A = this chain, B = another copy of it.
Amino acid sequence: MPKHIEVAGLLLTLDLAGTAVFAASGAAVGVKHRLDIFGVCVLAFVAGNAGGMLRDILIGSVPPVALVGWQYVTISLLAGVITFIWHPRLERLHTPILIFDAAGLGLFCVSGTQKALAFGANPLVAALLGMLTGIGGGMLRDVLVREIPTVLRKELYALAALAGASVVVAGQLLHFPPTVSTSGGATLCFAVRLVAIRRGWTLPTADGLS
């Protein structure tokens, strides 16, 4: 198998894995808010795919990749149904899920940034769209259950995605090979997020300033 197909296959696998983890997070929020099985599946799909769909709409790549094949829909609904059925057991998996979520964030922010760059976005916008790919699904998930999006209020989450996205943009400006900047960006995002969880890092609110 030629190497670039191998890499493409690896990236798709990782992207689907990220989608599954994000979808499970959406389904868990849906269960917590006592949605029915349909609502839980909608939240799973939204959390897993809305960030990338929003990015695709904004760069003019329609239909969004999540709607082109069967994979993204199927994996999201599977994650939704599994979470719906086994959610009490999944609660014991709290820590692994946080780790997978950080990995998903790392993957989404770099793949989103690369796609935006490929569609001609300027570096600043590409980094922001990469970040949006990582956080957009979770934001819409929270809006649908009438919560102010977590990512706007607490935890260092979006900044980790922005850091990863910035590495990809910098790599492109400095003509680094994409594999280097992509893996570097994903790793940085993953690492920042894990340290932020462990240390309880948060961003300042305006209270302390006034």
Contact = CB atoms under 8 A, between A and B. Distances in A.
Select the residue from A39, A85, A122, A204 with max chain B CB neighbours within 10 A: A39
Contacts of A205: 31, 34-37
Interface string A57-71: 111101110011110
Instruction: Classify chain A: how many residues form its interface, as a range.
Output: 35 or more
Contact of A146 (B74, B84, B147): B147
B151 A38 contact: yes
Interface string A160-183: 000000000000000000000000
Given A147-B146, A152-B30, A204 B37 contact: yes
Q: How many copies does the complex hold?
A: 3
A97 interface: no
A158 B59 contact: no
Interface in A107-136: 119, 121-122, 124-125, 128-129
Nearest to A154: B36
B84 A209 contact: yes
Nearest to A204: B37
A69 B122 CA distance: 7
A164 B53 CA distance: 25
A74 to B, nearest CB: 7
A209 to B, nearest CB: 6
Interface of A: 30-31, 33-40, 42-43, 53, 57-60, 62-64, 67-70, 73-74, 84-85, 87-88, 119, 121-122, 124-125, 128-129, 139, 143-149, 151-154, 158-159, 202-207, 209-210
24 contacts: A31-B206, A33-B148, A34-B153, A34-B205, A36-B205, A38-B151, A38-B158, A38-B203, A39-B151, A42-B152, A43-B152, A53-B58, A57-B57, A57-B58, A58-B67, A59-B63, A63-B119, A63-B125, A68-B122, A68-B125, A70-B124, A73-B124, A85-B206, A144-B149
